[in-house]
Structure 1
Amino acid sequence: MRGRGTSSNVHNRFQPYRIEAVAVDEFDSGEVPDSVATEVRLEHAKSIIATNQSPDIPFDRSINPYRGCEHGCIYCFARPSHAYWDLSPGLDFETRLTAKVNAVERLVETLDRPGYKPAPLALGVNTDAYQPIEKEHRLTRQLLEVLQAYRHPVTIITKGTLVLRDLDILADMASQGLCSVRVSLTTLDNELKRTLEPRAAGPAGRLKVLRALSGARIPCGIMIAPVIPFVNDAEIESILDAALEAGADRAGWVLLRLPREVAPLFEEWLQTHMPDRASHVMNRIRDLRGGNAYDSSWGSRMRGQGPYASLLSQRFEKHCRKIGMNRRESEPLRSDLFRRPGGEQLGLF
């Protein structure tokens, strides 16, 4: 299917029944259409900041202005969350999206609570805050305007070049130590990107983002996420070299994660695009996950286990040392500048 990561609507684990398309008469081939339009549903969210206690990630709060992601990355760990809304983690995840139209109001309400304590807020984690529908809905831009006014620290990770539209806000916040940006750079191969991340920006576009961020003195780096055995793992060193040349000074990596419905979707993608090595890739993934397609255990879910996981980590660390990536500790974002634009509400005594 053109411009989509999958043409399958894998079964929603919460549904007691399955739906299959079949030919009903001699005039109906039962074939999947070659394209599907994106639908965006508008929602009034009850809350906007999600919290977590995971030791594997460097933040405890995040905002996702959208549900689902039009980028269509076949490996996306967030796909299973679509099942909670009676939708498929497959094609539905990238074509049936939700925009939280009252995100700004909910954020202001939260920041204005007397007991709120600021800490770095991750913008766009479960799905990309700069996916294509942001161009029309502008929720990410509006949220950044609020965070700028409150002098609230924010981190962003994205595959989209639309982040450059907000360079004015990001540069101002960065000058106060309030923001940093990470670009997810999975491959330098345009053909692999086309099938793996069909509607995300190409490698050249993401390197352009890094150059612009670096030129504006916005702390920026990359995430090689995910590293996929025998698919893009050979690119680790070349990706780091390209990122450094583009101005990034920080880098990290995450091993491919295949929770719940992502595993069959990824296996189907392998059979479609890399049938000659599909079983080889999945066997290696299982080796890295204790014999399973996925292991959600804290401490190993981001890196895997065993000799091959150690080899990937050693290659990454060795090349970072060689080229000077991650040479300096990144400056923590400031939370002490937080202020409420209308002033603190004084209680009555």
Structure 2
Amino acid sequence: MSKPGKSGAVKGRGAVGNQAGRFARDEREAIDDGWPGDDEDTEASAPATVVRPDPARRLISRNQSPDIPFDASINPYRGCEHGCPFCFARPSHSYLDLSPGLDFETRIFYKDNAAAILEAELRKPGYRPTPISLGINTDAYQPVERRLRVTRDILEVLQAYRHPVSLITKSRLILRDLDILEAMGAENLVSVAITLTTLDSGLKRILEPRTASPAARLDTIRQLSTARVPTAVMAAPVIPAITDHEMEAVLRAAAEHGAHGAGYVLLRLPWEVKQIFRDWLAAHFPDRAAHVMSLIQQSRGGRDYDAAWGQRLTGTGKFAELIAQRFTLACRKHGLNRGARPALSTKHFRLPPRTGDQLSLL
């Protein structure tokens, strides 16, 4: 891999700018006014994270997309400090009148009443359990979770109700909750996917600035698997001419550390993410930016992105077909996705007695 450039990069952050969202009425653009010292403004080059409560009126979201393998999800956070420039959730900050750029990774909102709202929803008359996917839009184990513990609170409720849940994360912090995950795993109530985008630590630092190292993620797979928590690896996103050459190595390493299954997603660039990723390429890989975008467009019907169901996750065309073939062969070689795993169980679901309930007296 050639050495990336660094023009415009913000240390410790993924986005290289703070462009306006698509709903903004005004746009701001930084210019060089010629006065000395402007380029030494450390606050501007390394913006701090601001965390604010975002009380929820409801917690469980329902999904009707035919190409997404879950019906219900919970997102404890809006925004994500991990700072991945390709994150498909970035455009959601536009709804908050904030930038999908640096604002997305520095203005974090958390659902401080998540556990209480979840309990109320699970206790609604007629509620029927279906596996809940936790942390789909943004990582449920991003850095602020260490002190806020919103995800931990949610898991404690799901464990008490014996409700099935799946999680996907790039963080080693999930091991903090191994006591809950191991107990739920024994009743087929939980599954985990660890996203492993690259094995290159140098690339990880600029591609996923505030995430766990590749070695730490592999060790997380090992510890979860050892505890009999069903654990898969997500080789995602596959970025043409940046990470695609690593697919076989990523899958091999994950299998060697105990992963039972695998999946992949070809890079998605919806809405404002298109420009955020282009700016990241220009800052870090100016030598190959045009080639990367050419391969992406070849896989997206000549555009930066095609949102059509059934192909938005894997793309179309020769390059996309080659990625799919390589993935299938690597999984077969390393024993991944060998046979269908049983669906998470809903038969154990129950309403635990609360203080004041007559059942609590028995």
Residue identity matched to 1:74: P
Structure 1 distance, partners of 2:287, 2:33, is 34
Structure 1 distance, partners of 2:45, 2:23, is 28
| Cα distance per residue 1:160-194 (max 9 Å; x no partner) | 00000000000000000100000000000001100
- Alignment partner, residue 212 of structure 1: 223
Tell me the secondary structure at the aligned position of residue 296 of structure 1.
coil
Structure 1 distance, partners of 2:157, 2:214, is 31
- Alignment partner, residue 19 of structure 1: 28
Q: Aligned Cα RMSD in Å?
A: 1.6
More displaced stretch, 337-346 vs 30-39: 337-346
Q: Which runs of 5+ in 2 are unaligned?
A: 1-9
More displaced stretch, 88-97 vs 6-15: 6-15
Structure 2 distance, partners of 1:196, 1:110, is 37
Percent identity between the two aligned chains: 55
- Alignment partner, residue 190 of structure 1: 201
- Alignment partner, residue 38 of structure 1: 49
**Runs of 4+ displaced beyond 3 Å:** 21-28, 343-346
- Alignment partner, residue 102 of structure 1: 113
Deviation at 1:94, TM superposition (A): 0.2
Deviation at 1:322, TM superposition (A): 1.5
Residue identity matched to 1:223: M
Tell me the secondary structure at the aligned position of residue 116 of structure 1.
coil
- Alignment partner, residue 314 of structure 2: 303
Q: Which runs of 5+ in 1 are unaligned?
A: none
- Alignment partner, residue 111 of structure 1: 122
- Alignment partner, residue 129 of structure 1: 140
Match of 2:158 among 147, 157, 162: 147
Please show how residues 1-349 of structure 1 align to structure 2 within 5 Å: 1-22=10-31, 26=35, 29=38, 33-342=44-353
Structure 2 distance, partners of 1:126, 1:336, is 27
| Cα distance per residue 1:127-171 (max 9 Å; x no partner) | 000000000100000000000000000000000000000000000
Tell me the secondary structure at the aligned position of residue 271 of structure 2.
coil
Deviation at 1:36, TM superposition (A): 1.2
Structure 2 distance, partners of 1:50, 1:263, is 26
Tell me the secondary structure at the aligned position of residue 181 of structure 1.
strand
More displaced stretch, 17-26 vs 93-102: 17-26
Structure 2 distance, partners of 1:2, 1:281, is 23
Structure 2 distance, partners of 1:292, 1:243, is 32
| Cα distance per residue 1:251-280 (max 9 Å; x no partner) | 000000000111111111111111111000
Structure 2 distance, partners of 1:79, 1:230, is 23
Judging changes above 3 Å, is the alpha-carbon distance between structure 1 residues 180 and 79 closer, same or farther for their aligned structure 2 residues? same
Structure 1 distance, partners of 2:183, 2:133, is 18
Judging changes above 3 Å, is the alpha-carbon distance between structure 1 residues 51 and 309 closer, same or farther for their aligned structure 2 residues? same
Contact kept, 8 Å, 2:16 with 2:279, in 1: the verdict is no
Residue identity matched to 1:13: R
Tell me the secondary structure at the aligned position of residue 285 of structure 1.
helix
Structure 1 distance, partners of 2:35, 2:207, is 35
Deviation at 1:27, TM superposition (A): 5.5
Tell me the secondary structure at the aligned position of residue 58 of structure 1.
coil
Residue identity matched to 2:343: P
TM-score (norm 2): 0.93
Contact kept, 8 Å, 1:21 with 1:30, in 2: the verdict is no
Judging changes above 3 Å, is the alpha-carbon distance between structure 1 residues 23 and 308 closer, same or farther for their aligned structure 2 residues? closer
